[in-house]
Structure 1
Amino acid sequence: MADRLRALRALARVTRRHGPLGLALVAWTLLACRRVRRQLARGGLDAVRLPAPPPGGTDALVRQALRRGGGNCLESALVRQRFLARRRVLRTVVIGVSAPDAGFHAHAWLDGDPDPHRHELAEILRRPVPPAWLP
């Protein structure tokens, strides 16, 4: 019950600050993150297909929704890539891995974002914006 009340308060805050378009963007972001998670599990990066986000809103609002929605770094990078592509900002998703002897881990980010982990990782994949996402 407390979680549901907290979620409703957060949605009311978004609506007050950003209006109905901001609320629509938050809903799109959360649904897109879930969709990306399912698509990655079924078919990898090539299976990722996302509808265009609604007009308006900011990247900061998308990042905030992704943080609260629990998306991992790859899901978040792909959702933000789609959001930004709609606004004609083309950003490449970068995936990097650490050396096995350093306790292997992987991380994804958008090229150009400040990321404290990327200097410790070797890039293994760069995924440009899919042509279908371009306006």
Structure 2
Amino acid sequence: MKASPGRTLNALARLIRGHGPRGVALAAWTMLACRRVRHQLAHGGLSAVRLTAPPLGGTDTVVQGALRRSGGNCLESALVRQRWFAGRGVPRTVVIGVSAPAAGFHAHAWLDGDPDPHRHGLAEILRHPIPSAWLR
């Protein structure tokens, strides 16, 4: 379901008031990055993910809010946040976990070190370290 134009404008006004033009630039980068990651994962998997550096300024709160609005799944969101942190010189690892098939299969991705209630009961199957090119 899409947000109404009024709700979208209100959210944009709050973003400008709270974070200024840099926050708007970061939100735009985040939403575009989420779309790119979605496309890259569909056409080449994790090894195909390439994202430009995020703009300077802004906070992880802006990134997470933009990801919620973009409708990204947990893996797309974790990869975008991994790139955002890399742009600030902070290496973060994406972790992917799955539940046992008997419990009704479920998979989830998150950044190592983040509190995440959805990962409870999941077994780690993959750790995706930050691409070295993202830290240059």
- TM value normalised by structure 1: 0.96
Q: Residue deviations 1:85-107, cap 9 Å, x none?
A: 11011110000000000000100
CA distance in 2, matches of 1:59, 1:51: 17
- Residue 101 (structure 1) aligns with: 102
- Residue 86 (structure 1) aligns with: 87
SS at match of 1:108: strand
Q: In the alignment, residue 65 of structure 2 is paired with which amino acid?
A: Q
- Residue 74 (structure 2) aligns with: 73
Q: Once the 2 structures are TM-superposed, how far is the Cα of residue 33 of structure 1 from its aligned partner? A: 0.4
- Residue 119 (structure 1) aligns with: 120
- Residue 43 (structure 2) aligns with: 42
Q: Residue deviations 1:33-82, cap 9 Å, x none?
A: 01100000000000100000000011111111111221110000000000
CA distance in 1, matches of 2:94, 2:108: 10
Change (3 A) 1:40 1:86: same
Q: Which runs of 4+ in 1 moved over 4 A?
A: none
CA distance in 1, matches of 2:15, 2:44: 33
- Which one is further off, 104-113 or 56-65? 56-65
In the alignment, does 2:45 pair up with 1:14? no
CA distance in 2, matches of 1:118, 1:16: 34
- Which one is further off, 98-107 or 11-20? 11-20
- Residue 62 (structure 1) aligns with: 63
The count of corresponding residues between Structure 1 and Structure 2 is 135
- Residue 30 (structure 1) aligns with: 31
Q: RMSD value over aligned CA atoms?
A: 1.3
CA distance in 2, matches of 1:10, 1:38: 26
Structure 1: gaps (5+ residues)? none
Structure 2: gaps (5+ residues)? none
- Which one is further off, 27-36 or 11-20? 11-20
Q: In the alignment, residue 6 of structure 1 is paired with which amino acid?
A: R
